[in-house]
Amino acid sequence: MSGASPILALERVSKVFGRGDSAVYAARSVSFGLHAGRTLALVGESGSGKTTAARLIMREYTPDDGQILFRGEPLGKAGRKALKAYRSAVQMVFQDPFSSLNPAHTIRYHLERPLRLHQPELSGPGRKAAVEELLARVKLDPKLVMPKFPHELSGGQRQRISIARALAVNPQVIVADEPTSMLDVSVRLGILNLLNAMKAEEQLALLYITHDIATARYVAEDIMVMYAGQIVEWGATDSVLGNPQHPYTRLLLAAVPDPDRRFDQSAPDELSQVDDIRRRSALPQDETRQFGDNHFVRVLAE
Ligand SMILES: Nc1ncnc2c1ncn2[C@@H]1O[C@H](COP(=O)(O)OP(=O)(O)OP(=O)(O)O)[C@@H](O)[C@H]1O
């Protein structure tokens, strides 16, 4: 979705769970690229395949078809050294900041650990200084926070620790899977702003996974809408959300609460389309059409 070569790209990647009648096509021929200094939002309802895409990127799953390219090289052919570099370069921030931190260890330990692995040449004081710098980058007070255990911090603070931990290994790509959905509404914006600042300062490529199309609009230059394992609409966020072409994108937008509209006034047409869209969107032979410079949609087969 940007002219330059992507740092990381998925090319027609598919993942199927189960076989025969019980097969679930969690990802169907999914293609996209992540670019330095840009955020790509992946939006879709529960079960659409977003986490499967993240797990494919994190190499928790191997694609059944298609390939993942890192800096133009297929991961499938990468040797041990290249895979190790990939593991540092691509970091994940999880939905639940509590379960991703070990309750038995201090925050200092959590941040020193990746530094020990990634920068073994650092001395004890050097490592401590690096932890302090990481905490300052995520806008936490190092002196206050370093000796604490995860349960002594708020949800928002814990998510900042997760982000600091990801940054500790100087990543090029961050996959953030619903990073704010378990946080209090009052701290969500702070986390999104932090991710935005990191992206700009470090020229990170960010994949922002969410079911919340409103936050996607806030953080992402580019957006993809996923439905039943397929990317059904993608392009510049302003164009896709300002002029949605796929009925499922329209449906997601219609589901964003509008303070001027009561629930019992929701448009019946939008809602009655759901089943029809579900059935038809599962068809794999859709064709792609282009709207404007950077806006594409999968048109359902008639
Ligand atoms: N390990 C697995 N084994 C079998 N089926 C799976 C597995 N992981 C995911 N699925 C199925 O694949 C589909 C996509 O799931 P996925 O978790 O990727 O969706 P999602 O969009 O991330 O949903 P959510 O927002 O609820 O996490 C679902 O139908 C799910 O039940």
Mutate to test the pocket of ligand 1, among 10, 42, 52, 208 (most ligand atoms within 8 A of CB): 52
CATH, residue 210: 3.40.50.300
Torsion angle of alpha carbons 39, 28, 74, 117, nearest 10°? Answer: 60
* Residue 254 confidence (pLDDT): 87
| Domain contains 103 | no
| Domain contains 108 | no
pLDDT band at 259 (very low <50, low <70, confident <90, very high): low
Residue closest via CA to ligand 1's atom 2 equals 17
| Domain contains 139 | no
Cα of 109 to ligand 1 centre, how many Å?
33
DSSP string, 140-196: --HHHHTT--GGGS-HHHHHHHHHHHHHTT--SEEEEESTTTTS-HHHHHHHHHHHH
Domain residues for the domain of 17 are 8-97+171-299
Q: Can you tell me the mean pLDDT for 267-276?
A: 50
* Residue 263 confidence (pLDDT): 52
Dihedrals φ, ψ of 276, to 5°?
Answer: -65, -45
What's the CA gap between 106 and 104, in Å, rounded? 7
* Residue 100 confidence (pLDDT): 83
Q: Can you tell me the mean pLDDT for 25-47?
A: 95
DSSP state of 301: P
Q: Give the predicted TM-score (pTM) of the model.
A: 0.89
Average pLDDT, the chain: 88
pLDDT band at 271 (very low <50, low <70, confident <90, very high): very low
Q: Say which residue the tokens 């509209």 belong to.
A: 261
| Domain contains 143 | no
Q: Is the CB of 23 under 6 A from ligand 1?
A: no
Residue closest via CA to ligand 1's atom 5 equals 17
| Domain contains 146 | no
Per the structure, the count of domains in the chain is 1
Q: Is the CB of 46 under 6 A from ligand 1?
A: yes
Atom of ligand 1 nearest to the CA of 178: 25
Mutate to test the pocket of ligand 1, among 15, 24, 230 (most ligand atoms within 8 A of CB): 24
User: Does 1 score more than 80 pLDDT?
Assistant: no
Atom of ligand 1 nearest to the CA of 61: 1
* Residue 295 confidence (pLDDT): 94
| Domain contains 12 | yes
Could you tell me what percent of the chain has a pLDDT over 70?
Answer: 88
Q: Is the CB of 43 under 6 A from ligand 1?
A: no
Dihedrals φ, ψ of 135, to 5°?
Answer: -65, -40
Cα of 56 to ligand 1 centre, how many Å?
12
- Could you read off the pLDDT of 182-230 as tens digits, one per residue? 888 888 899 999 999 999 999 999 999 999 898 999 899 999 999 989 9
Q: Is the CB of 15 under 6 A from ligand 1?
A: no
User: Does 264 score more than 80 pLDDT?
Assistant: no
| Domain contains 126 | no
| Domain contains 132 | no
- ipTM given for this complex: 0.95
What's the CA gap between 155 and 249, in Å, rounded? 31
Atom of ligand 1 nearest to the CA of 53: 18
